[in-house]
Every structure is written in structure tokens, then in C-alpha cells.
Amino acid sequence: MKHIARKRFGQHFLTDVAVIDAIVEAIAPQPGDAMVEVGPGLAALTQPLVERLGRLTVIELDRDLAVRLRAHGQLDVVESDVLKVDFTALAARLCADGVVAKKVRVVGNLPYNISTPILFHLLDHVNVVQDQHFMLQKEVIDRMVASPATPDYGRLSVMLQWRYNMHNVLFVPPESFDPPPRVDSAIVRMVPLAQPPTINFKTYHDLVQTAFSQRRKILRNTLGKWLDEQGFEGEFDLQRRAEEVPVHEYVALAKATHPK
């Protein structure tokens, strides 16, 4: 029976074989990798992945699709909302299950309506992740990888770039899907930094959120007040807009505001 895409789950199923091959090539799965696929859907990407891996764990919320996936002998199905999955616990189980890997590799065609919450959820588990390859709305990836002083540079750029090296690796047009989405898509590669800066994450989160709360204003009018409330007495150029400040300066400011 044909599965009808469900709008409430943000389902758009990848059907272009050439694109699927290019994605698998970019991921480069190896036997022994502990890999987790988020939102496998109709298994268009799942099947070529598992053929290379031997075994694959998939996370699927749609009950009907989960039933189909369980019939596949090489898949371990986690039927759950991905935002409720404890990736740290999942990684501990997978990496103790006889595979060579010490960390998990995460891949998937993320539901575009909740892609940012998923990225932040995984950030909480970044210490057990080897790398991530995701299909996302192209404009979201443009913001993720943006450089300072460009229109796409914003809160998402700063919140992710302190912890990942990220690259836009492949453009995916709407006609590659059934049904076609109304937006362009792309594949992003996210590799956690081997030696990330040590910061108080809540301080960093609050700092960045405050800085970009009114991004057209100079920071003296937004971040300046927040820094005064923190008792900050150091030097920082507040005569700039939030989008003009590089990630390493936000990190340094978070360290100076709340040293660990």
C-alpha cells in the first residue's frame, strides 16, 4: 500500500536516485560505523546506507512507517519523537554492541518545521557524536555556515559554529522529493570540533540571544545592558551590530563574563 505523506510530520520523501547516491557518497558509511538515521521515511536513503553498514538504527515517529521498517532484518527501529531521544544513552548502547566505533554518526532528512530544535537537541549530546549529515532547508544551512557581516549570519550561526565545523556539501532541488517541498534543500556536514572552547553554555546562550534580539541596533543598546547586569568590567566593542562580531569574540566574551 502506498504511504501518503503526512503534513503534520513534515514528510517529503526523497526519490531522486542520483541525489541519493550523491548523499551516500558524501556520508561515506563504513562497516562498523554506529550510525543513526533520523526520519528514514520510505527507506530511500536507509537501504543504500544499510547495504554498506550491515546494520543501522533508525528513529521514526510515524507508526505506519515504523511497522514497515521493523520488517527489515537489518534495522533497529526506535519509534519516537527525535526530540525525546537520549542520544547519549543510545550511543552508549550502540558502541557497546560489538561495533568498532566509539561515537555515533547521525544522518537524516530532518522535518523542516522542527529542524532547529533538533539541531539544538543534538548539541546537548555532541560529546558522543562523530559527525552529522542532514538534509535541511537550504536557507537554514546558509545561516548555519554563514560568515560574520553577511545577511545570513545570525544566532544560529553563532550557536553552532562554536562547537562544529560545518559545510554545505550538496544542493537538492524540490523535484527530488515526493511531494516536492516549496523550498530548496541542501545537505550539511557537521563535525564536532576536536578541542572546543570551554564555556558556560547557559551564559553563551543568553549572551547570543540578547545580542541578536534586535540585530539592527548597535550592541550598546542591547548587549551593553546585559553585560552591565552581569557586572562585566572588561573591554568589548559595543559600537557594532551583532552580525559584525565573529564567533571567537562571542566565545571570549562568554568566558570573561562567566569564567569556568
Does 10 carry a binding-site annotation? no
In this prediction, residue 206 carries a pLDDT of: 96
In this prediction, residue 175 carries a pLDDT of: 94
In the predicted model, residues of the chain with pLDDT beneath 50 are 1-10
Query: Are 246 and 236 a contacting pair, CB within 8 Å?
Result: no
CA distance 138 to 152: 11
Query: Are 103 and 95 a contacting pair, CB within 8 Å?
Result: yes
pLDDT tens per residue across span 36-56? 999 998 899 999 999 999 999
Residue given cell 560505523 in the structure block: 33
Does 94 carry a binding-site annotation? no
Domains and CATH numbers, the chain: 7-192 (3.40.50.150), 201-257 (1.10.8.100)
In a 13 Å sphere around the CA of 243, the CA atoms on its Cβ side amount to: 13
- Give φ, ψ of 47 to 5 degrees: -65, -50
Does 12 carry a binding-site annotation? yes
For the record, the C-alpha cell of 183 comes out as 523550498
In this prediction, residue 258 carries a pLDDT of: 81
123 alpha-carbon distance from chain centroid: 8
Does 79 carry a binding-site annotation? no
Query: Are 163 and 123 a contacting pair, CB within 8 Å?
Result: yes
pLDDT tens per residue across span 4-28? 444 444 456 899 999 999 999 999 9
- Sign of the alpha-carbon dihedral angle for 35, 100, 96, 56: positive
In this prediction, residue 7 carries a pLDDT of: 43
Share the mean pLDDT of the chain: 92
Does 233 carry a binding-site annotation? no
Q: Please classify residue 79 by burial: count the beta carbons closer than 10 Å to its beta carbon, then call 0-12 exposed, 13-18 middle and 19+ buried.
A: middle
pTM of the model: 0.91
Does 228 carry a binding-site annotation? no
CA distance 96 to 236: 47
CA distance 97 to 100: 9
